[in-house]
């Protein structure tokens, strides 16, 4: 089951490192925060950068959530686990897990989570083309087949604003796009 830990923005790497030291490996399968690739214009030149997809959140996969939570409380940078429901914690809904796997390209991945690294949880840049009458077509990448979720495409800043359900609320995330020429 996937659970979400809320942390101070910018502390995601540190929390993951502390969890790796303090929490026994048998209590969780994987701990990560997804990264997105984007292009930004810096001093007149387009550069490809890596940024946090959901700043302030770390995901952890575990079947031992009660025991895990007790250990997480000993992590200095730990803030809280999201989804508390009475006595227990609610995992991410199946559709949220599937969405996360789909945009990071792990939808069909059968490999052991122990063999993954942080680059596996990286959202790549989608390629788009623009027709003569300014119609945008998604050619490849995580935005392919997600047209219903795309709220706005900003060609100037090279991002797509995508609205998704995350922890039972609508959240807008920005994903990188790259124009691969005008289409006739």
How confident is the model over 30-62, as pLDDT tens digits? 999 999 999 999 999 999 999 999 999 999 999
Q: What would the pLDDT profile of 112-162 be if each residue is shown by its tens digit?
A: 344 444 456 899 999 988 887 778 888 888 988 777 788 998 988 999 999
Q: Are residues 34 and 52 in the same domain?
A: yes
Angle made by CA atoms 8, 9, 10, in degrees to the nearest 5: 110
**Residue 145: domain span:** 125-184
Residues 159 and 90 in one domain: no
pLDDT of residue 104: 85
CB 169 within 8 Å of CB 118: no
Number of domains into which the chain is organized: 2
Domain boundary residue, one of 123, 152, 167: 123
pLDDT bucket at 183, cuts 50 / 70 / 90: low
Per-residue pLDDT, 76: 87
Regarding whether 25 and 60 lie in a shared domain, the answer is yes
Q: 107 or 23: whose pLDDT is higher? A: 23
> Could you report the per-residue pLDDT of 70-120, keeping only the tens digit for each?
999 999 888 888 887 766 788 998 988 988 888 887 754 433 344 444 456
Domain-ending residue, one of 94, 123, 152 = 123
Triad 165, 50, 92: Cα angle to 5°: 25
- Can you give the CATH number for the domain in which 54 is found? 3.30.70.940
Are 76 and 86 part of one and the same domain? yes
The sheet carrying 136-140 orders its strands as 136-140, 126-131, 169-183, 159-166, 150-154
Same domain, 101 and 145: no
Residue 34: exposure state from Cβ atoms within 10 A (0-12, 13-18, ≥19): buried
Q: Which residue has the higher pLDDT, 167 or 45?
A: 45
Note the pLDDT of residue 112: 38
Residue where a domain stops, chosen among 98, 123, 148: 123
Which tokens in the block code for residue 97? 């897990």
**Structure confidence at residue 83 (pLDDT):** 80
In a shared domain, residues 15 and 44: yes
The secondary structure of 51-96 as a DSSP string is: EESSTTEEEEE-S-HHHHHHHHTTSTT--EES-EETTEEPPPPHHH
On whether both 146 and 97 belong to a single domain, the answer is no
151 in the same domain as 63: no
Q: How far apart (Å, rounded) are the C-alpha atoms in residues 143 and 131?
A: 18
The reported pLDDT for the residue numbered 179 is: 86
DSSP 8-state code for residue 27: G
Q: Are 120 and 104 in contact (CB under 8 A)?
A: yes
- Closest by Cα among 122, 120, 99, 123 to 110: 120
């Amino acid at each position: 089951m996937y659970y979400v830990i809320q942390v101070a923005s910018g502390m995601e790497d540190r929390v993951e490192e502390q969890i790796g030291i303090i929490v026994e490996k048998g209590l969780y399968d994987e701990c990560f925060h997804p990264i997105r690739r984007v292009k930004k214009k810096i001093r007149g030149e387009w550069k490809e950068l890596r940024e946090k997809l959901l700043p302030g959140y770390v995901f952890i996969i575990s079947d031992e959530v009660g025991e895990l939570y007790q250990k997480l409380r000993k992590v200095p940078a730990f803030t809280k686990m999201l989804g508390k429901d009475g006595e227990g914690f609610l995992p991410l809904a199946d559709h949220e897990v599937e969405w996360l796997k789909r945009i990071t390209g792990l939808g069909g991945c059968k490999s052991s989570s122990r063999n993954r690294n942080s680059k596996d949880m990286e959202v790549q840049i989608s390629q788009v083309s623009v027709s003569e009458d300014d119609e945008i077509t998604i050619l490849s990448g995580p935005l392919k087949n997600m047209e219903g979720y795309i709220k706005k495409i900003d060609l100037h800043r090279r991002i797509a604003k995508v609205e998704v359900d995350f922890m039972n609320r609508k959240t807008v995330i920005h994903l990188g796009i790259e124009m691969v020429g005008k289409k006739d």
